[in-house]
Structure 1
Amino acid sequence: MTTIHQVLARKWRPRCFEEVIGQIFVVQALRNALNQKYLHHAYLFTGPSGVGKTTFGRILVKCLNCENNGISDSPCHICNSCQEIDSGRSPDFLEVDAASRTKVEDLRELLDNVQYMPTKGRFKVYLIDEVHMLSGHSFNALLKTLEEPPSHVKFILATTNRYKLPITVLSRCLQFHLTLLLPKQITIHCQYILQKENIEFEKSALALLARAANGNMRDALSLLDQSIIYGNGKVLTNYVKDMLGIIDPSLLFDILESIAWEKGNDLLNYINRLAQQGIDFSNALAELLTLLHEIAVIQVVPDAKIKDNCARLHQLANLFHCEDIQLFYQIGLLGQRDLPYSPSPKMGFEMTLLRMFTFYPEVSITKIKNEFTKKTCNKV
């Protein structure tokens, strides 16, 4: 019988607090509350997508309803209650997507069952995901039950936008805010998963995936799945670069140098080379802004630790005045804003760079060229 592959984001979803990546303060607070039996009737998890809001909710349900260990921070994972919650079959745990059930009638139908005792477990738990999508009437219907629910009922709310929640809802919940994960945390976790899955990988490839995920673990694991398929069972740097459309950083250095030395023909040639590679010009502009940020940091703090292309970064930092880099950064931000409105992405990107070229002060050009020549001669 053929084994069906389960996506990594589902297969490696944390099942207990020990498996959660990051979110140290939230984990510690919940574990302390459970061990001290200091239980609240409504929990609110907020934060960006893919950082573990519903995962925390499911772990919390298991901690509350575990048959073997009772109310504790360590569910057993083997009792009927834990297994039913893991497989989504528990009659006492109802997970609702508020985005698809926004009407007040849907919520009232849900709340009508609150009065009934749990079928098997200790508590009946309602997890309402993306709760900010509920209508105003739905929130009004929820308020009274949320304030004084029966003792056997717990509410777990999750949202990516807490500012859309009425203050009356916020005040009735114990709130926990989840933050984006660090690239290092994502890299280490992906490395752990690939070692367990016996999949060949390169650490530099994982670093690229972690950076592309922008702190979102679910996105990181989805990208990891894609890279495994694209690399035919391996996660290699070259394949990941192609998959993500990562730009050769030397081209971006060349672009800035062509602006510094007033070489307009070279500037247009480098842009054409980017176009021939089929890159996403929105990503190219974002990478250019990142490069300008790194140059600005070096200009203010010369000893700052920048991992890649350190020599060329310092060279560019000497070529430009601090004010020029700040100006280029602002031009780049405006270009990023206007890019969707350009006749074509390439044209929008090109106009942004031509703007940098045009507004680069002539006085700076002459002065910096002289200074750069002197520094080069002194080093020789």
Structure 2
Amino acid sequence: MEYIVSARKYRPLSFDTVVGQAALTTTLKNAVKSGKLAHAYLFCGPRGVGKTTCARIFAKAINCQHPTAEGEACNECESCQSFNEQRSLNIFELDAASNNSVEHIKTLMEQTRIPPQLGRYKVFIIDEVHMLSTAAFNAFLKTLEEPPAHVIFILATTEKHKILPTILSRCQIYDFERMTIRNTIDHLKHVAEQEGITYEEQALAVIAEKADGGMRDALSIFDQAASFCQGNITYEKVIEDLNVLDSENYFKIIDLAIDNKVSDIMVLLNGVINKGFDGGLLIQGLAKHVRNVLMARDPQTLPLLEVSDQMRARYEEQAKKCQITFLYDALKLMNQCDINYRQSSNKRLLVELTLIEIAQITQPAEDGASAGRKPRRLKSLFKNMIQQQKPKNAAPQVAAAKVAVSAAAAVTAEATGESQTAGTTASEASTTSNAKPKLSLGGIGFSWKKLRQQDNGPQKGGMQIIPGSINMPTGQDAVTDAQFTQTDLEFQWMAMCNRMPQKLSGIATRMKNMNPEITEFPTVEVVVDNELIKQEIEDIQKSIAKTLQVYLHNNQIQITVRVAEQTEHVKILSRREQFEQMAEKNAAVAKLQQAFDLELA
């Protein structure tokens, strides 16, 4: 016996057997009963929801010689028999994807002139009608508007927006709905019982979710799963066959995140990636899972969960453990990760950071954290790690700890969008105990991208390099009057120029060509070429001084700026002139050029 796939074998043959389109089928049956038939219908909706099937059932019922009281075809008269045996001359099906030219439409129009041999109507079903060319649509317009009395057109399409408005205005439009998870599961149960296949409802729910609202897709996946499982469809075998990520992973991640178990989440993520699943797929699935948990918190939104009864109970159970603020924050983090995932060059790191942040949402706030402000969880995480790993009596490790905590604080401030002063940060990091060295967050790390105004008020033009208030380290590590040399000054000057933001790139380039000098220690003099450059330097003079004070560990540094006198101007040499000058001073350079036959690039 020839094998027939389930999508064809269980294709509905009457309106009552159509799944998930009760309103549409009722309207069509009433039209058949009353005899009030339009000359053109348009069935539109997603794939696999029954558009062509309903068109065939409707066409058979229209020509039925003895329709039932409910508007169904009798399946006994000659018209019904000829349709069932696929020999009816009154019902024509045309695939517009392969017959989309003007000539095909003209041929169709000629067939409309011939009246039906049996029955009352000639029915033309045009599938994928949006594939017709514009010229074919225009050739079809007149006939569609005023067809012969014995002709009815039924058009079907998945892309309604591609059809000309002049065509839409001439048709009765029926919008088919996507299949719900519940309807798909119930129909798959019916098919499984008819085929003698045992199943788990959770496995059918996975198939229904994979079908994404299409019954034809669901039946095709069902056949595939039944073949793989050999007549016993189980949840484990279905997710293995369809390569679907087990939802148990999502439940575990949320449970671990509530308990702040970052390490366990990282191990679970590594296992998921090692199985071949993409990190972005995990984030998308986890976001959908958290959304379902959020819906399960309220009885009013519980019906929005398109899952099996068993999964709905699990969502309700986990929803009792989760605070609503945790779910909101987790959804925001995952949505941002999903947006940035495609552009990220290190996708795994992005996913890991997102999961770490989710696991830190429920971490208690630190002592001294002000009310109404988010606790600085990442700072706490890094500080705890440093305290555990710091050896006793190790000054270099203490200095490294300061840098790490400062970096963590900067990352947290940027991630949360908070604007905090270094003095406030330092007060959060300090504790009341004097037994151990304190970890100060100020004076070590800062961001060149965030220019803040100084305590003395905004500078002209608003150009600051670093925050205006920086607390120097206190206690044994405090150094406010350290000695520095001309070499140290030049090194920190160049480093500062390299770190300056893009908006100050012009003045930064000029500053690289300047040679700051120590006049009367610790006063630093900067000589510029003209008054214009002097004004630009003075606009950021206080920020430059503050930066050098931090990196040279001397709070007494002062910056003076003056315009060079006529005799101090130095000609800027080209690279070739610089080389010639070097060769004059050192004969070995000229010999090296001749020996290797070198040329300036």
User: Do they fold alike, i.e. is TM over 0.5?
Assistant: yes
Range 19-28 or range 147-156, more displaced: 19-28
User: 5+ unaligned residues in a row in structure 1: which ranges?
Assistant: 371-380
Range 250-259 or range 115-124, more displaced: 250-259
- C-alpha deviation, 1:297, in angstroms: 3.4
CA contact 1:124–1:153 (8 Å) conserved in 2: yes
Corresponding residue for 1:328?
A: 333
- Structure 1 distance, partners of 2:86, 2:366, is 65
What SS is found at the alignment partner of 1:100? coil
Corresponding residue for 2:84?
A: 86
CA contact 2:42–2:174 (8 Å) conserved in 1: yes
Structure 2 matches for 1:127-206, cutoff 5 A?
127-206=125-204
Structure 2 matches for 1:142-291, cutoff 5 A?
142-256=140-254, 265-279=263-277, 283-291=281-289
- C-alpha deviation, 1:273, in angstroms: 0.5
CA contact 1:186–1:210 (8 Å) conserved in 2: yes
What SS is found at the alignment partner of 1:252? helix
Q: Summarize the Cα distance change of 1:319–1:39 in structure 2 as closer, same or farther, 3 Å threshold.
A: closer
Corresponding residue for 1:67?
A: 65
- C-alpha deviation, 1:77, in angstroms: 1.9
Corresponding residue for 2:354?
A: 356
CA contact 2:101–2:136 (8 Å) conserved in 1: yes
Q: Summarize the Cα distance change of 1:38–1:303 in structure 2 as closer, same or farther, 3 Å threshold.
A: closer
Corresponding residue for 2:29?
A: 31
CA contact 1:331–1:352 (8 Å) conserved in 2: no
Matched, 1:49 2:47: yes
Superposed CA deviations along residues 8-49 of structure 1, whole A, max 9, x for unmatched, are: 111111111111112111111111111111011101111111
Q: What TM-score do you get using the length of structure 2 for normalisation?
A: 0.54
Residue identity over aligned pairs, in percent, reads 33
CA contact 1:295–1:325 (8 Å) conserved in 2: no
Superposed CA deviations along residues 141-170 of structure 1, whole A, max 9, x for unmatched, are: 111000000011110001112122111111
- Structure 1 distance, partners of 2:339, 2:11, is 39
- C-alpha deviation, 1:218, in angstroms: 0.8
Corresponding residue for 1:307?
A: 313
Corresponding residue for 1:121?
A: 119
Range 214-223 or range 104-113, more displaced: 104-113
Superposed CA deviations along residues 57-98 of structure 1, whole A, max 9, x for unmatched, are: 000110111234499722122334223323433222111121
- Structure 1 distance, partners of 2:232, 2:359, is 49
What SS is found at the alignment partner of 1:194? helix
What SS is found at the alignment partner of 1:190? helix
Corresponding residue for 1:15?
A: 13
- RMSD, aligned CA: 3.1
- C-alpha deviation, 1:355, in angstroms: 4.7
- C-alpha deviation, 1:206, in angstroms: 1.8
CA contact 1:44–1:175 (8 Å) conserved in 2: yes
What SS is found at the alignment partner of 1:33? helix
Larger fraction in helix: 1
- Structure 2 distance, partners of 1:334, 1:107, is 46
Q: What TM-score do you get using the length of structure 1 for normalisation?
A: 0.83
Partner amino acid for 2:238?
Answer: V
Q: Summarize the Cα distance change of 1:150–1:292 in structure 2 as closer, same or farther, 3 Å threshold.
A: same
Q: Summarize the Cα distance change of 1:114–1:304 in structure 2 as closer, same or farther, 3 Å threshold.
A: closer
CA contact 1:51–1:217 (8 Å) conserved in 2: yes
What SS is found at the alignment partner of 1:40? coil
Question: Which structure would you say has the larger RCO, counting Cα contacts within 8 Å and 6 or more residues apart?
Answer: 1
Range 95-104 or range 50-59, more displaced: 95-104
